[in-house]
Amino acid sequence: MRLRAFCWLKTSWLTMGAVLLIAAGWGVAASGVAGAQDLKSFEQRITTKVLPNGLTILICERPEAPVFSYTTFVDVGDVNDPWGESGLAHMFEHLAFKGTTQIGTRNWPAEKVALEKVEEANSAYEQEYRNPNGSDPQKLAAVKAKFEEAQAEAEKYVIPNQFTEVAERNGVHGLNAETGLDETQYFWSMPENRLELWAWLESARLSDVVPREFYKERDVVMEERRMRTDSNPEGRLFEQFASTAYVAHPYGRSGIGWPSELSQITATEAMDFHKAYYVGANIVVAVVGDVKAAETMPMLEKYFSKVSGGPRPLKMTTVEPKQFAEKKVTIREMSQPIYIEGYHRGDYHDPDDAVYDAIGDIFSNGRVSRLYRSLVRDQQIAALAVGESPFPGSKFPSLFLFGAVPLPGHTPAEMADAIHKEIDKLKTADVTDEELAMFKTRARADLLRGLGDNQGLADALAEYQTRYGDWRELFKQLDRVDKVSKADIRRVANKVFVASNRTEAWTETAAPAQEPKPAAPAGGKAGAQ
């Protein structure tokens, strides 16, 4: 139950771009895929079926061991959060673990009535809390008490965590979900003899979710925000960076939600969100492992037909306007310096998508990469330096991101200068034949390596089926990789890496405060709530 964007970013920083191609869309292709697994052998092992409600089921037979993994890929993320409700997609994802009208409840009809009263009580609380003339503390306390009473009443009908308990008792492995700005994914692995049980659980939570324990879970997600963003120097930096780089598109909005908005999301809003976006046409379910499509498809069809068949939501209207002013953000605080900068680029459909992958690979992948050799090995000013994309999502026009971690005694300004010099080289001279060939070889090998893992394969197949309408694009992408030329790289570098298209953000270490601080907490004054 993680937020995806930051996890991805950190993962890719960890390996200096090695996983970039996988995370960013496996920029690999079919031509020349040698050996055991290629497009042709996959065509024989993959079955897809679009149900009458629009939902796509994809099965990939890989009977290595009596297990399977699945990914449910819902084409909705925190970019779809309505204004004033940032964090809603992620909040809903948490709700999807709370059970249904059949699981997690002692008495659904009674619980339903109790939950309606919770909504009424919350509504009354909000009326007072958001009173334009200011709330009356006494009234507020009274409605709050009623709200808490209503929740306590509803809780009487709850069997806590029953949905996950059933999954756990049946041998689930790697149970989790991730909400990104672009999409929401639910996934786990199980022994193959639990396939039907899984289909029951998964189809139930997609079609029959209820607003159970919503407000307590909202507190849990507030803690998740404190952990990932507020109490983490990189979390703070990236949130400020993205919100500066974008002026209109929700890629600039906090994915986990701004505290004031997240803390006021309601169960009603979450259920409305579910109704609009959790429709068959917006969902792909991929299953990989010891599963026979011919035998199991009718059973899967029976369960997943329960998902609502409403219309596929329209694309959002907002398009980020062209940036014309260079922007800079400086955070002065007590942690060590980090430097990042980003340039607006196109979305994953951009004809130059593979060119960006090539630049990312040549700049960041391993100890042969340009930024490593320049900033880390030769100039010895950085411990880590990378340049890669897309950030913070890929479905909409995104950013090409550069970043560096200075060695002790070196400054963010030196990182910026050194990165800009490397960018200038890319604009004025062609990359070498060896660099370009290396990118293409590694792209192909990375795609192949990913095919040996049920969960990774389920993720990739579901993502490609959603984004391109055809999982084969996972392999066909290699054609675009093969077409990248030196001239493409120079052209794209000159077009995109210009100061007026740039946002820089960095942390500077602030001098420690002079006055002595209390050594131990003694109650203190009011803190963040």
Site for another protein in 482-501 (CB under 8 A): none
Site for another protein in 83-102 (CB under 8 A): 97, 102
Q: Are the CB atoms for 277 and 466 separated by under 8 Å?
A: no
Site for another protein in 244-273 (CB under 8 A): none
Minimum distance from CB of 88 to another protein (Å)? 17
Q: Which is nearer to another protein, 185 or 501 (CB)?
A: 185
User: What is the C-alpha to C-alpha distance for residues 57 and 301, in angstroms, rounded to an integer?
Assistant: 8
How far does CA 2 lie from the centroid of its chain? Answer: 8
Please give the helix or strand (H or E) that residue 186 lies within, else none. Answer: strand 184-191
Minimum distance from CB of 469 to another protein (Å)? 27
Minimum distance from CB of 371 to another protein (Å)? 12
Q: Which is nearer to another protein, 93 or 320 (CB)?
A: 93
205 binds another protein (CB under 8 A): no
Site for another protein in 24-53 (CB under 8 A): 34-37
Which residue of 5, 67, 237, 270 would you call a contact of another protein, by CB under 8 A? 67
Which residue of 116, 192, 272, 482 would you call a contact of another protein, by CB under 8 A? 192
User: What is the C-alpha to C-alpha distance for residues 87 and 93, in angstroms, rounded to an integer?
Assistant: 10
SS3 of 363-424: the string is HHCCCCCHHHHHHHHHCCCEEEEEEEEEECCCCCCCEEEEEEEECCCCCHHHHHHHHHHHHH
Minimum distance from CB of 271 to another protein (Å)? 20
* DSSP-assigned letters across all residues of 448-476: HHGGG-HHHHHHHHHHHHHHHS-TTHHHH
Which residue of 123, 131, 318, 441 would you call a contact of another protein, by CB under 8 A? 441
Which residue of 233, 252, 313, 346 would you call a contact of another protein, by CB under 8 A? 233
407 binds another protein (CB under 8 A): yes
110 binds another protein (CB under 8 A): no
134 binds another protein (CB under 8 A): no
Please give the helix or strand (H or E) that residue 325 lies within, else none. Answer: none
User: What is the C-alpha to C-alpha distance for residues 86 and 91, in angstroms, rounded to an integer?
Assistant: 9
Total interface residues for another protein by CB under 8 A: 112
Site for another protein in 354-373 (CB under 8 A): 365-368
Minimum distance from CB of 264 to another protein (Å)? 16
226 binds another protein (CB under 8 A): yes
Q: Are the CB atoms for 458 and 68 separated by under 8 Å?
A: no
234 binds another protein (CB under 8 A): yes
Say if residue 52 is preceded by a cis peptide, omega within 30 of 0. no
Minimum distance from CB of 462 to another protein (Å)? 21
Which of the stretches 48-56, 327-335, 422-430, 485-493 binds another protein when contact is defined by CB under 8 A? 327-335
Helix (H, G, I), strand (E, B) or coil at 48: strand
326 binds another protein (CB under 8 A): no
Site for another protein in 165-184 (CB under 8 A): 165-166, 168-173
Residue 498, Cβ neighbours under 10 Å: how many?
Answer: 14
User: What is the C-alpha to C-alpha distance for residues 252 and 499, in angstroms, rounded to an integer?
Assistant: 19
Residue whose C-alpha is closest to residue 277's, from 240, 313, 324: 313
Q: Which is nearer to another protein, 130 or 517 (CB)?
A: 517
User: What is the C-alpha to C-alpha distance for residues 299 and 303, in angstroms, rounded to an integer?
Assistant: 7
527 binds another protein (CB under 8 A): yes
432 binds another protein (CB under 8 A): no
Q: Which is nearer to another protein, 378 or 424 (CB)?
A: 378
Q: Are the CB atoms for 180 and 5 separated by under 8 Å?
A: yes
Which of the stretches 50-58, 231-239, 271-279, 468-476 binds another protein when contact is defined by CB under 8 A? 231-239
Which residue is associated with the tokens 């996983």?
19
Q: Which is nearer to another protein, 328 or 449 (CB)?
A: 449
